Amino acid sequence: MSDSAKHHPGFVKPAAPPSALSHRDLREGPFWQEIPAWHDVDEATFLDFRWQGRHSITSTEKLVAAIEGLAPRDFIDDVTRGFHLAPMSVRVTPYLLSLIDWRAPYDDPIRRQFIPLASQVQPDHPELTLDSLHEQEDMPVPGLTHRYPDKALFLALDTCPVYCRFCTRSYAVGLNTDTVDKVHLNADAARWEQIFAYIASRPELEDIVLSGGDVYNLPARHIRLIGERLLGMPNIKRIRYATKGPAVMPQKLLTDRDWRDALVHVVQLGRSLRKDVVLHTHFNHANEITWITRDAIGLLLEAGVHVRNQSVLQRGVNDSVASMQMLLKRLGTIGVHPYYVYVHDLVKGVEDLRTTAQVAIDIEKGVRGATAGFNTPTFVVDTLGGGGKRDVHSYDFYDRETGIAVYRSPNVDPDQLFFFFDPIAGLFDEVRARWANPLAREQMKAEAAAKARAAGGLR
C-alpha cells in the first residue's frame, strides 16, 4: 500500500464554519405581522388557506393597501405601470408578500418573480412567440401535449393560486390582460374525457404530468378522479402532480385536509398497483422556504408522498452559485429533492429575468459536489419549437458572441435542429445591430445551424 493510501491517524477534518449551516435557518415566528395590514393577524388565521386566497393581491389598489407605508411612492407608480404591461394577470398571496424585503423591493428576489415593474421591462427577443415551446402544436386534443414517445402533459385547468411573471404558458394561464388574449383550458369534464380517451388509446404512453394552470386549484374530488382514471389504465405507470402551491401557499397543505388526503389517496393507490405517483413543486429561492413550508411538506413526507422540485433560472433571483447552492441545500433540509433547473424560456414581457446558457453551465459546475448527487438538479434548456428538454451543456454548437445555441433532440425528431437564444441585452453592440436586422438574423441562425450539423455529423 502506498503512503498516500494509508490511514493518517492524526488527521482531523476541520469543523465547518457556522455559515455552512445557514441553510438550516428557516424564517420562524409570525413574520407576516411585519406587514402593517396584517399586524393583528394571528397564526390560525394566517395558516387558513381560504384566508390566503381571499386576501391575495390582484390589483394595484390591493397592493397599496397591504404595503402602505412600507414602499416608496415611486415604487408604487412603477408597479402600476408594470401591471398594464404584464402578459400575466397579477395574483400574489399574503404569504409571498410578507416574504419580500420591502426595504429594498426593487432587488428582492421574490418581488422580481411576481410583481412587475415598468422600469425593468426590456424589449422581447425577436425570436419570441407566445407559445415558444410549441405546446399547442403538439396537442392531439385540447389540453394534452404529446411530444415525447412515452410521456404526455395533461393541462387540467388554466388558473393558479399565484401568477408568475415568467410563466411559459402565458398563452393560456390566467385572465386576459392588456397585452394577451388567452387560449382558455377550463376544468371541463367533456374536455378531460377527450384526454382520457386519447391516453387510453396510446399504449406507448406510460407517464403523465398533470399541470395547467396548477393542480392546487383543483378541488379534492378532481384530484381523486383524475388520478384514479389514469391509474386504472394498464399503460400508465407514472403520474406527476405539478404544482407551485407548496412554494406560494403552503397553508393549503396544512389546513385543506380534503385536498391533502385526496393526493395521499392517489399516491397510496398507485403504490398498491406498483405505480409511481409523485408531487412536483416549484421553489426558486431559499427565501421562499419558511417554518410553514417545513411543516406543510412534513405532512406529505409522513404520508409517504415523494416531492421533487423544478426551478427556473432567473437573473437577480437565483443566478449565482451562492444563491442556487442555498436553495438546493434548504430544499434538502425540508425533504424536497431538486430535480430540474430550467434555463429561462423566451417569455413575453420578462426579458429582464432571462440569463444566458453559459450562466447555467457555470452554476451547475459550481453547485455539483456541494451536496449529495440525488439532491443536485440537472440544468436544462427547453428548446424552442418543440425540441423538449436538453441538458444545457449538450449543445451541438454554441456561439457566445451571437448568443445562439443549437441542440438536437433525437427522440423528438432526429433530423431537426432546435435553438435557444441568449438575451440580446448582454451582447456586443455590433451583434445587437445584426439581431435588429431580419436578414442578418436569419444569416446568423443559418451559420449556427450549419456548424451544428457539421459538429454532429449531419448533412
Residue 148's closest CA among 206, 97, 229? 206
Q: Cβ distance 172 to 182 under 8 Å?
A: yes
pTM of the model: 0.92
| Residue 458 pLDDT class (50, 70, 90 cuts) | low
pLDDT at 41 > cutoff 50: yes
Specify which residues 110 forms β-bridges with. none
In the chain, what are the domain boundaries? 28-120, 136-392, 395-459
Helical ranges in 101-249 per DSSP H: 109-114, 189-201, 220-231, 245-248
- Length of the chain, in residues: 459
pLDDT of residue 394: 96
**Which DSSP symbol is given to 16?**
P
Give the three-state DSSP class for 338: strand
pLDDT band of 13, cuts 50, 70, 90: confident
Q: Report residue 276: phi and psi, to 5°.
A: -100, 120
Q: According to DSSP H, which parts of 115-256 are helical?
A: 189-201, 220-231, 245-248, 251-255
As a whole number of angstroms, the distance between CA 238 and CA 280 comes to: 12
Contact 153, 135 (CB under 8 A): yes
Q: What is the mean pLDDT of residues 381-399?
A: 93
Does the pLDDT value for residue 269 go beyond 80? yes
Is the CB of residue 141 less than 8 Å from the CB of residue 195? yes
Alpha carbon distance 374, 335 (integer Å): 12
- Residues 6 or more apart in contact with residue 226 via CB below 8 angstroms: 154, 156, 192, 210, 218
Q: What are phi and psi of 418, to 5 degrees?
A: -125, 145
The residues that bridge with 347 in the sheet, in sequence order, are: none
Task: Give the span between the Cα atoms of 259 and 98, in whole angstroms.
Answer: 25
The pLDDT value recorded for residue 3 is: 54
- Using CA atoms, how far apart are residues 354 and 347, in angstroms rounded to an integer? 9
C-alpha to C-alpha distance for 280 and 166, rounded to whole angstroms? 18
Tell me the CATH number of domain 136-392, given options 3.40.190.10, 3.30.450.40, 3.20.20.70, 3.30.1340.10: 3.20.20.70
**pLDDT tens digits for range 77-107:** 999 888 888 777 789 999 999 999 999 999 9
Give residue 54's pLDDT band: very low, low, confident or very high (50, 70, 90). very high
Q: Is the pLDDT of residue 182 over 60?
A: no
16-25, 241-250, 372-381: least confident range: 16-25
Q: Are 423 and 435 in contact (CB under 8 A)?
A: no
- Mean of the pLDDT values across residues 361-374? 93
pLDDT tens column, 209-232: 999 889 999 999 999 999 999 999
Write out 47-102 in H/E/C secondary structure.
CCHHHHHHCCECCHHHHHHHHCCCCCHHHHHHHHHHHHHCCCCCCECHHHHHHCCC
pLDDT tens track for 104-134: 999 999 999 999 999 999 999 999 876 666 5
**Lookup result for grid cell 385572465:** 175
